[in-house]
Amino acid sequence: MSAKTLYDKLWESHLVRSEADGTALIYIDRHLVHEVTSPQAFEGLRLAGRKPWRVDANLATPDHNVPTTPREGGVEAIRDPISRTQVETLDANCRDFGITEFQMLDPRQGIVHVIGPEQGATLPGMTVVCGDSHTSTHGAMGALAFGIGTSEVEHVLATQCLIQKKSKAMQIRVEGELGRGVTAKDVVLAIIGEIGTAGGTGYAIEFAGSAIEALSIEGRLTLCNMAIEAGARAGFVAVDDKTIDYVKGRPYAPEGELWEQAVASWRTLHSDRGAQFDRVVTLDATAIRPQVTWGTSPEMVVAVDQRVPDPGEESDGVKAEGMQRALDYMGLQAGTPITEIPLDRVFIGSCTNSRIEDLRAAADVARGRRVAGNVKQALVVPGSGLVKAEAEAEGLDKVFIDAGFEWREPGCSMCLAMNADRLESGERCASTSNRNFEGRQGQGGRTHLVSPAMAAAAAVAGRFVDLADLDKG
């Protein structure tokens, strides 16, 4: 038998049938549902008189639209009537079709990509889909996970399958030890800086190498979350002891004899020695510095000790024009040191960086310090109700509040500004989210993507700062 990649194994174990031209029907083990991309899919099911194929494969929660301010008033108190309708529509659809939903007031509610792994609803070896591009996150568990559109949401509901073609396989190896203060977020931003936002288009990416093995599961979730920002629908990491330890005891994880059987199967979820990839990219972990994006695409990224690049030095005309447009939008001058960029707001949260380790890293920086006077708002939005409770049990909420941060209820929040949390035009934000597109955090808003520790440091310094220099003034 020839050596297989992890992707081959995940793909082949879910193949229902395939055509001669490679068009395949693959089986979906877990379907996660949220309020924005599902209403039209449920409507489609109703119109066709169809029922969900396997109700127990679905798990739903509202996340994009929910307010992060206190929620005593429940769904009825969501001020924006259109947001409220979407959350109510999700509740009604889940009730009508019998789908398990963690509603807004459920303590388990949260960002769909945080709660999947947290609940053990995402397991190694699964296929996981959701009407959201950041579904790649779940690949950190050794799963094949990718985002789909609403037509496919309806397709999965109706058939438990998707029509797909196999992608090409890429392996990105990050070898060596990461420096102090360099996180999974910096690694993935450095990868995107290296291969570009379209570098992974058409590929499924396996992240490997000693630096990836050394990451915690939460770090790997951050890494795989942004595979889509490199153009790849799916990114994943092989199963190891950390994966298995992480899953054990979670509410949806198997128990007893089934657990033993599952673990034996999960142990095979790695690329075989000698497996062939269509492309291999290798990065030196020791060379990665804390990253800050300067433009309107995640590939527009430099290290914190560098300067805003000059379009005049770019030989590709279309690219230079794009850089200039980004600088104009961002209100930046070429050559400005990154550490001289002042901030108006700070956002710590999103499916990329809102888990307990992220909050701990940010709190470590915030502890005993104060948010700078020029920063109007520094938001901390936990990824789920359970993350929030855990953080509060550790006293992290107090650390943030004492430092002048706002401590909020869980949701997507200012990552995409579909709720009330957003930037005003021209405001500049250090954000732990995943996209710095024009208008992403509010029309005219300017986003710089960073790690949680960097965001907290930027909040207290009022500008970007190398963590090592934080107390030097």
Q: Which of residues 100-159 bind another protein (CB under 8 A)?
A: 123, 125-126, 131-133, 135, 146-152, 154-155, 158-159
Q: Coil, strand or helix: which one is 188?
A: helix
- Distance in angstroms (rounded) separating the CA atoms of residues 463 and 465: 6
For another protein, give the closer residue by CB, 126 or 365: 126
Residues 78-97 that bind another protein (CB under 8 A): 80, 82-83, 85-86, 89
Q: Which stretch binds another protein (CB under 8 A): 21-29, 348-356, 373-381, 385-393?
A: 21-29
Total of chain residues touching another protein, rule CB under 8 A: 77
How would you classify the pairing of strands 144-147 and 127-130?
parallel
Binding of residue 325 to another protein (CB under 8 A): yes
* Least spacing, CB of residue 258 vs another protein, in Å: 5
169 strand-pairing partners: 204
* Least spacing, CB of residue 76 vs another protein, in Å: 17
Residues 58-77 that bind another protein (CB under 8 A): 64-65
Q: How many CA atoms lie within 13 A of 206 on its CB side?
A: 29
- Distance in angstroms (rounded) separating the CA atoms of residues 134 and 162: 18
* Least spacing, CB of residue 237 vs another protein, in Å: 20
Residues 343-362 that bind another protein (CB under 8 A): none
Among 12, 46, 56, 105, binds another protein (CB under 8 A): 56
Q: Which stretch binds another protein (CB under 8 A): 174-182, 319-327, 331-339, 380-388?
A: 319-327
Among 176, 311, 322, 404, binds another protein (CB under 8 A): 322
- Distance in angstroms (rounded) separating the CA atoms of residues 29 and 19: 22
* Least spacing, CB of residue 273 vs another protein, in Å: 24
Helix (H) or strand (E) holding 208: strand 203-208
Q: Which stretch binds another protein (CB under 8 A): 50-58, 238-246, 352-360, 371-379?
A: 50-58
Which amino acid makes up residue 405?
F
Residues 28-47 that bind another protein (CB under 8 A): 29, 36-37, 39-40, 43
Q: Coil, strand or helix: which one is 295?
A: coil
How are strands ordered across the β-sheet holding 446-449?
406-407, 377-380, 345-348, 428-431, 446-449
- Distance in angstroms (rounded) separating the CA atoms of residues 24 and 378: 47
- Helix axis angle, 396-403 relative to 385-393, nearest 10°? 80
* Least spacing, CB of residue 400 vs another protein, in Å: 27
* Least spacing, CB of residue 274 vs another protein, in Å: 25
**Would you give the binding string for another protein spanning residues 191-220, x where CB under 8 A is met?**
------xx--xx------------------
- Distance in angstroms (rounded) separating the CA atoms of residues 394 and 150: 39
CA diameter of the chain: 66
* Least spacing, CB of residue 50 vs another protein, in Å: 8
* Least spacing, CB of residue 215 vs another protein, in Å: 25
Binding of residue 329 to another protein (CB under 8 A): no
**Would you give the binding string for another protein spanning residues 246-265, x where CB under 8 A is met?**
------x-x---xx-xx--x
For another protein, give the closer residue by CB, 197 or 339: 197
- Distance in angstroms (rounded) separating the CA atoms of residues 99 and 91: 9
Residues 422-461 that bind another protein (CB under 8 A): 435, 437-440, 443
For another protein, give the closer residue by CB, 1 or 318: 318
Q: How many CA atoms lie within 13 A of 230 on its CB side?
A: 30
For another protein, give the closer residue by CB, 323 or 461: 323
Cβ atoms of 426 and 446 closer than 8 Å? yes
- Distance in angstroms (rounded) separating the CA atoms of residues 176 and 151: 42
Cβ atoms of 438 and 447 closer than 8 Å? no
Binding of residue 17 to another protein (CB under 8 A): yes
- Distance in angstroms (rounded) separating the CA atoms of residues 2 and 127: 23
Cβ atoms of 354 and 383 closer than 8 Å? yes
Please give, one letter per residue, the 3-state secondary structure of 300-322: CEEECCCECCCHHHCCCHHHHHH
Binding of residue 16 to another protein (CB under 8 A): yes
Residues 220-239 that bind another protein (CB under 8 A): 228, 231-233
For another protein, give the closer residue by CB, 63 or 357: 63
